[in-house]
A and B are shown apart, each in its own frame.
Chain A
């Protein structure tokens, strides 16, 4: 109950006109950078770090938190409308979201993303208030062997649902794994696949891969077919969610939140993995109409992942505030901002600066509400972007993709890599390879590798450490189940078939 009293005080601190203004600036900027490919919340907060010299801490953190939440939401807009995710965390949203848009259900996809983000953000912020100690204990108990098991689970869950052709899915995954190898190996400091280009030593940023394969690849593919196919007439469709959409969305929202929040709290968990898992889970759980619609624009495939990525943003704040442990790029920069104010997030922050912490948590609720109010009425308007003639639209996308990627590090090498990946993305579309597994491989591959090697190094080379924790055993069992269920089902199906034929 003590928490709630402090939270009410926090609302008192956050609800000043000046702070509300900063919250508004934050969510607006966040939504914008989320929409623009390449420019993400981490970079935006970093560029705004100098405001910490002049703005009081409460206002600054209210703005930063708004940018973070806004960025998680904004990324979904371009994913849904144009199949060009603005952030890697909204990549999965593109799979079903864009199909929905093509069927004239863009407004519904945007609305379920907006409301799902709001629901997830609000529940997750509530959890931040009541469950922070438990979540931190869980995050700390997670060792390298658990991460490795988690990566395996994500691999199997995702690869079994993403592609209709296993070979094509694996080929795409292999491409992603190879891209993930580029750069200095973290454990030994050796350079791999850098071809002597120093700019490649830090590896290729996942943003460049996602933007290159998705946005540039899509633009090239659309351009290549512009003269061959008559423009698709995309109906803008009816605005707002129907009763049926609500019925199909609320469970995925809650499941997405449940997946996203703990993952955000894990160092290295990130916002991407829970979106993969949410997508896979929703596909598995889909029944009836939803099952038929999966792959053609099922609303569940948008609602779940979008809730997951927003919940993970709130989850990230748990270890940041309670331990001073940043678990995402944005959180790392927010940690730097705390330090600029001479504050050290950690066990003592809640005791020493309760006013600041609780105002910030209160501001998350406020920011979330603002995002909903800002974005829900915009959904039908955004959907009209689809009426912009395609040459202009995609030329704009390529321009913004290039601007965003150049702004990341300010090097021409990144631009060259972007366009090479764009060509690869085009080729993959041309020859029917799914793009998503490549990005997933690029994110999960390095994580699986480094955690496996870490676990083995800590265990002095004994492979038994990999099943040394209950968490790892459970995760590995789930991975095995995800892998074997389709096989078993096929075998059983065949046996049944045999039996019936024998009975004939």
Chain B
């Protein structure tokens, strides 16, 4: 008997911790608890961004209650569909990014970003192209030459099909004059799994976020052929893809959107709050600690950026042939 009561209490508290609520009725942004939806499982990039934002908001606006909850699934499109159902709710933000733009195309999501209110772009992380230390490819040009000779012989490991890593591989192929559909892309559930095959020299090359591979580039186990930033990164000895002759630039960005149908006042309140958070020391420290790049953008600027990214990603995803 005692055992079961104990278990019941534990389950209840676990459920409470999970914090899976239905989301309150629409309210004015000036009051009430601000909820931040991380449309992914705990532990990933969006979750980390959401929870870091929660902490920074608590220090920047101590009188405002903030709460993070997770809605995982399908590259964030499940969360997006839920956000669409919260029309006019000024107390809700959703963390999202480049991966969601791809997932919307790939999964043919009924809800798109057009049904949201863009609030702010927060951070960027660049991608890196690496080969195993014992690879015959010394430079990007070597890789491209082999690629042009026979795309099937050059296997490229990275994250999920249609994700950021795959998009980078596709853009590189296009820039090199290789048909993106011919790219021999070996999809993995994440950068970690791909790392294993790179360290074991099972694949020709790999693409992932700089953070995933940087440590191994520094220790000499992997060789960096290029990063997807415009300029070289400050703390990593690696050329850009542009220097190597491929005109590819891409940042894995993350930001906030709010539900559609927001009043101008609510939109302004949310934007001001996020701006205040961005200016806080807590946020700056967290950005530095996580190796993110601050790319803060709000209002029309962010809205324009979103539509430009949507168009670009749509094109690549179609060319890669991964639309379901």
Interface residues of A (CB under 8 A from B): 32-33, 35-36, 39, 43-44, 46-47, 49-50, 53, 139-144, 184-191, 198-199, 201-202, 267-268, 319, 323-327, 332-333, 335-336, 339-340, 342, 344, 346-348, 381-382, 385, 388, 396, 400, 403-404, 406-407, 409-411, 454, 457-458, 460-461
B189 touches A186 (CB 8 A): yes
User: Is B91 part of the contact surface with A, judged by Cβ < 8 Å?
Assistant: no
B3 touches A385 (CB 8 A): yes
Which of chain B's residues have a CB closer than 8 A to the CB of A202?
72-74
A35 touches B7 (CB 8 A): yes
Beyond known contacts A189-B106, A189-B161, A191-B107: 12 more, CB 8 A cutoff:
A198-B81, A201-B74, A202-B72, A267-B192, A339-B48, A339-B290, A344-B211, A346-B215, A396-B7, A403-B11, A407-B15, A409-B72
Question: Given A36-B7, A202-B74, A404-B11, are A186 and B160 neighbors across the interface (CB < 8 Å)?
Answer: yes
Question: How far is A222 from B3 in the complex, measured between Cα atoms in Å?
Answer: 21
Q: Which of A35, A184, A382, A458 contacts B324 (CB 8 A)?
A: A184
Which of chain A's residues have a CB closer than 8 A to the CB of B263?
none
Question: How far is A35 from B3 in the complex, measured between Cα atoms in Å?
Answer: 11
A-B contacts, 10 listed (Cβ < 8 Å) = A32-B6, A47-B18, A49-B51, A50-B51, A198-B73, A201-B107, A346-B215, A346-B216, A406-B20, A457-B186
The smallest C-beta distance from B70 to any residue of chain A, in angstroms, reads 7
Which of chain B's residues have a CB closer than 8 A to the CB of A327?
192
Question: How far is A232 from B18 in the complex, measured between Cα atoms in Å?
Answer: 38
- The stretch among B193-201, B224-232, B233-241, B304-312 that forms the contact with chain A is B193-201
A141 touches B200 (CB 8 A): yes
The smallest C-beta distance from B198 to any residue of chain A, in angstroms, reads 9
A407 touches B20 (CB 8 A): yes
Question: How far is A342 from B291 in the complex, measured between Cα atoms in Å?
Answer: 9
The smallest C-beta distance from A287 to any residue of chain B, in angstroms, reads 37
User: Is B275 part of the contact surface with A, judged by Cβ < 8 Å?
Assistant: no
Question: How far is A202 from B195 in the complex, measured between Cα atoms in Å?
Answer: 22
The smallest C-beta distance from A358 to any residue of chain B, in angstroms, reads 20
B186 touches A53 (CB 8 A): no
Which of chain A's residues have a CB closer than 8 A to the CB of B188?
186
Which of chain A's residues have a CB closer than 8 A to the CB of B289?
342
Which of chain A's residues have a CB closer than 8 A to the CB of B48?
336, 339-340
A388 touches B193 (CB 8 A): no
Closest A residue to B54 using CB positions: A50
B324 touches A189 (CB 8 A): yes
B155 touches A457 (CB 8 A): yes
User: Is B84 part of the contact surface with A, judged by Cβ < 8 Å?
Assistant: no
The smallest C-beta distance from A133 to any residue of chain B, in angstroms, reads 13
Within B60-88, which residues are at the interface with A (CB < 8 Å)?
Answer: 69-75, 77-78, 81
User: Is B162 part of the contact surface with A, judged by Cβ < 8 Å?
Assistant: yes
User: Is B246 part of the contact surface with A, judged by Cβ < 8 Å?
Assistant: no
Where chain A touches its partner, the secondary structure class is: helix
B43 touches A333 (CB 8 A): yes
The smallest C-beta distance from A332 to any residue of chain B, in angstroms, reads 6
Question: How far is A411 from B75 in the complex, measured between Cα atoms in Å?
Answer: 15
Question: How far is A382 from B7 in the complex, measured between Cα atoms in Å?
Answer: 12
B42 touches A47 (CB 8 A): yes
Which of chain A's residues have a CB closer than 8 A to the CB of B43?
46, 49, 332-333, 336
Which of chain A's residues have a CB closer than 8 A to the CB of B221?
347
Residue from A202, A333, A347, A458 with most neighbouring chain B CB atoms (10 Å): A458
Which of chain B's residues have a CB closer than 8 A to the CB of A43?
18, 42
Count residues of B near A (Cβ-Cβ below 8 Å).
68
Q: Which of A140, A188, A340 contacts B161 (CB 8 A)?
A: A188
Question: How far is A144 from B323 in the complex, measured between Cα atoms in Å?
Answer: 25
User: Is B149 part of the contact surface with A, judged by Cβ < 8 Å?
Assistant: no
A191 touches B42 (CB 8 A): no
A336 touches B44 (CB 8 A): yes
Q: Which of A187, A268, A333, A347 contacts B187 (CB 8 A)?
A: A187
B219 touches A189 (CB 8 A): no
The smallest C-beta distance from B45 to any residue of chain A, in angstroms, reads 9
B215 touches A348 (CB 8 A): yes
Q: Which of A36, A186, A189, A396 contacts B14 (CB 8 A)?
A: A36
Q: A-B pairs with CB below 8 Å: how many?
A: 176
Question: How far is A79 from B44 in the complex, measured between Cα atoms in Å?
Answer: 31
User: Is B190 part of the contact surface with A, judged by Cβ < 8 Å?
Assistant: yes
The smallest C-beta distance from B133 to any residue of chain A, in angstroms, reads 12
User: Is B250 part of the contact surface with A, judged by Cβ < 8 Å?
Assistant: no
Which of chain B's residues have a CB closer than 8 A to the CB of A32?
6-7, 10
Cβ contacts B108-140/A at 8 Å (1 or 0 each) = 010000000000000000000000000000000
The smallest C-beta distance from B218 to any residue of chain A, in angstroms, reads 8
Which of chain A's residues have a CB closer than 8 A to the CB of B284?
none
Which of chain A's residues have a CB closer than 8 A to the CB of B73?
198-199, 201-202, 409, 411
The smallest C-beta distance from A330 to any residue of chain B, in angstroms, reads 10
Question: How far is A246 from B294 in the complex, measured between Cα atoms in Å?
Answer: 61
Question: How far is A140 from B192 in the complex, measured between Cα atoms in Å?
Answer: 12
Question: How far is A79 from B29 in the complex, measured between Cα atoms in Å?
Answer: 49
Question: How far is A33 from B14 in the complex, measured between Cα atoms in Å?
Answer: 9
The smallest C-beta distance from B186 to any residue of chain A, in angstroms, reads 5
A326 touches B7 (CB 8 A): no
The smallest C-beta distance from A455 to any residue of chain B, in angstroms, reads 9
Within B197-225, which residues are at the interface with A (CB < 8 Å)?
Answer: 197, 199-200, 202-203, 211, 214-216, 218-219, 221
A332 touches B324 (CB 8 A): no
B197 touches A143 (CB 8 A): yes
Question: How far is A381 from B3 in the complex, measured between Cα atoms in Å?
Answer: 9
Residue from A319, A336, A404, A410 with most neighbouring chain B CB atoms (10 Å): A410
B193 touches A267 (CB 8 A): yes
A323 touches B324 (CB 8 A): no
Q: Which of A46, A143, A347 contacts B200 (CB 8 A)?
A: A143
Question: How far is A425 from B200 in the complex, measured between Cα atoms in Å?
Answer: 41
Q: Closest 6 interchain pairs by CB? A: A410-B20, A46-B42, A189-B161, A189-B322, A201-B74, A346-B215
Cβ contacts B295-324/A at 8 Å (1 or 0 each) = 000000000000000000000000001111
Which of chain A's residues have a CB closer than 8 A to the CB of B145?
none
Within B9-50, which residues are at the interface with A (CB < 8 Å)?
Answer: 10-11, 14-15, 17-18, 20, 41-44, 47-48
Closest B residue to A187 using CB positions: B187
Question: Given A332-B192, A347-B216, A347-B219, are A411 and B162 neighbors across the interface (CB < 8 Å)?
Answer: no
Q: Which of A36, A53, A185, A191 contacts B55 (CB 8 A)?
A: A53
Q: Which of A44, A198, A382, A388 contacts B77 (CB 8 A)?
A: A198
Question: How far is A143 from B216 in the complex, measured between Cα atoms in Å?
Answer: 19
The smallest C-beta distance from A121 to any residue of chain B, in angstroms, reads 23
Closest A residue to B317 using CB positions: A189
Which of chain B's residues have a CB closer than 8 A to the CB of A457?
155, 184, 186
Q: Which of B69, B189, B202, B215 contacts A344 (CB 8 A)?
A: B215
Question: How far is A144 from B199 in the complex, measured between Cα atoms in Å?
Answer: 13
B155 touches A458 (CB 8 A): yes
Closest B residue to A44 using CB positions: B14
A198 touches B187 (CB 8 A): no
Which of chain A's residues have a CB closer than 8 A to the CB of B71?
409-410
A144 touches B184 (CB 8 A): no
B197 touches A144 (CB 8 A): yes
Residue from A35, A39, A189 with most neighbouring chain B CB atoms (10 Å): A189
Question: How far is A333 from B107 in the complex, measured between Cα atoms in Å?
Answer: 26
